Amino acid sequence: MNDNGQAKFIDNIRKALCVDGNRACPDIFYRKPDQESMIILERISSRSHSLRLQLLYKMIDSAKIVNLDVRPVQTLTDASHEIIKLACEKKPEWGDEKSVVLWKHPLIEEMNIEEILRERKISVIFSNRPDEGKTGRDRLIKESAVSFIGITSADYCIAETGTLVLKTAPGNERIVSLLPSIHVAVIKLGQVIADFNELYTLLDKELSDSPEGIDAGMTFITGPSKTADIEATMVHGAHGPRE
């Protein structure tokens, strides 16, 4: 549909609904947090280090159930070493050449693993810049498809289920966590929350603070891709990462 056809189509809908195109939409999303939400937000913000560690241990237990490998480390340098070790030990699912695709994310960039990986003959691909458009998206799809590891961060991790919550945007594309055979997410301890109730409360606050702030896609990842056939045989990696 060309621009004129699209405008005409939308205009017909407005007329059918008796809606004036110049009328401002009511701000139906903005609302102040209620008392229960305030209690939850206070609980999250005041959570002690020891309680955060308890959530981490709970997340590790939950992760085992969904075949998710959690590797706690003390520093970003330690995290870099774990990723480099993984990239060196694992073999690509297809072919012999190794390549890794990474989000353009402050936490990932702070790890400085690009040079070390290249020294080990492992190609490094970064996700798109906001100004790359369709050409950049097509490039990323092609390069992610041949990468055997995708490295992202996450906005939250839910301890109760071992679920990663990723907001996707230019530079932080969902495809990096979807196409490679192995997905690695680097997060900080403070990003681990208790349950979905805490998540929804945090998202509601973000929306209240800035209604235009949640304008990207959001992905929930609970372990590797899992598919069961008619005989109930579980297969990992059929429709996404196998690790």
Q: What phi and psi, each to the nearest 5 degrees, are found at residue 15?
A: -65, -40
Q: Is the pLDDT of residue 28 over 70?
A: no
Concatenated DSSP letters for 169-191? BTTB-THHHHSSSEEEE---GGG
User: Does some domain include residue 19?
Assistant: no
Q: Is the pLDDT of residue 146 over 90?
A: no
pTM of the predicted structure, to 2 decimals: 0.77
Higher pLDDT among residues 97 and 226, named by residue: 97
User: Does some domain include residue 7?
Assistant: no
Q: Which pLDDT belongs to residue 124?
A: 87
- pLDDT above 70 covers a percentage of the chain that reads 79
Q: Is the pLDDT of residue 190 over 90?
A: yes
Give the burial class of 60: count Cβ atoms within 10 A of its Cβ; 0-12 exposed, 13-18 middle, 19 or more buried.
middle
Report how far Cα 187 is from the mean position of its chain's Cα atoms: 11
Q: Which DSSP symbol is given to 221?
A: E
Q: Which pLDDT belongs to residue 11?
A: 79
Q: Which of 33, 14, 59 is nearest to 194 (CA)?
A: 59
Contact between residue 87 and residue 120 where contact means Cβ atoms under 8 Å apart:
yes
Higher pLDDT among residues 117 and 33, named by residue: 117
Q: Which DSSP symbol is given to 26?
A: P
What CATH number is attached to the domain comprising 157? 3.40.50.10420
As a whole number of angstroms, the distance between CA 184 and CA 103 comes to 11
Q: Which pLDDT belongs to residue 66?
A: 86
As a whole number of angstroms, the distance between CA 83 and CA 125 comes to 15
Average pLDDT, the chain: 82
Least confident of 10-24, 133-147, 158-172: 10-24
Q: What phi and psi, each to the nearest 5 degrees, are found at residue 229?
A: -85, -175
User: Does some domain include residue 241?
Assistant: no
Question: What's the number of domains the chain is made of?
Answer: 1
SS3 state of residue 106: helix
Higher pLDDT among residues 101 and 25, named by residue: 101
Q: Is the pLDDT of residue 87 over 60?
A: yes
User: Does some domain include residue 20?
Assistant: no
Give the burial class of 41: count Cβ atoms within 10 A of its Cβ; 0-12 exposed, 13-18 middle, 19 or more buried.
middle
User: Does some domain include residue 133?
Assistant: yes
Domain range for residue 205?
A: 34-236
Higher pLDDT among residues 158 and 206, named by residue: 158
User: Does some domain include residue 14?
Assistant: no
pLDDT tier, 173 (very low <50, low <70, confident <90, very high otherwise) = confident
User: Does some domain include residue 1?
Assistant: no
Place of tokens 């939308």: 10
Q: What phi and psi, each to the nearest 5 degrees, are found at residue 14?
A: -60, -45
pLDDT tier, 225 (very low <50, low <70, confident <90, very high otherwise) = low
Q: Is the pLDDT of residue 73 over 60?
A: yes
User: Does some domain include residue 204?
Assistant: yes
Q: Is the pLDDT of residue 200 over 70?
A: yes
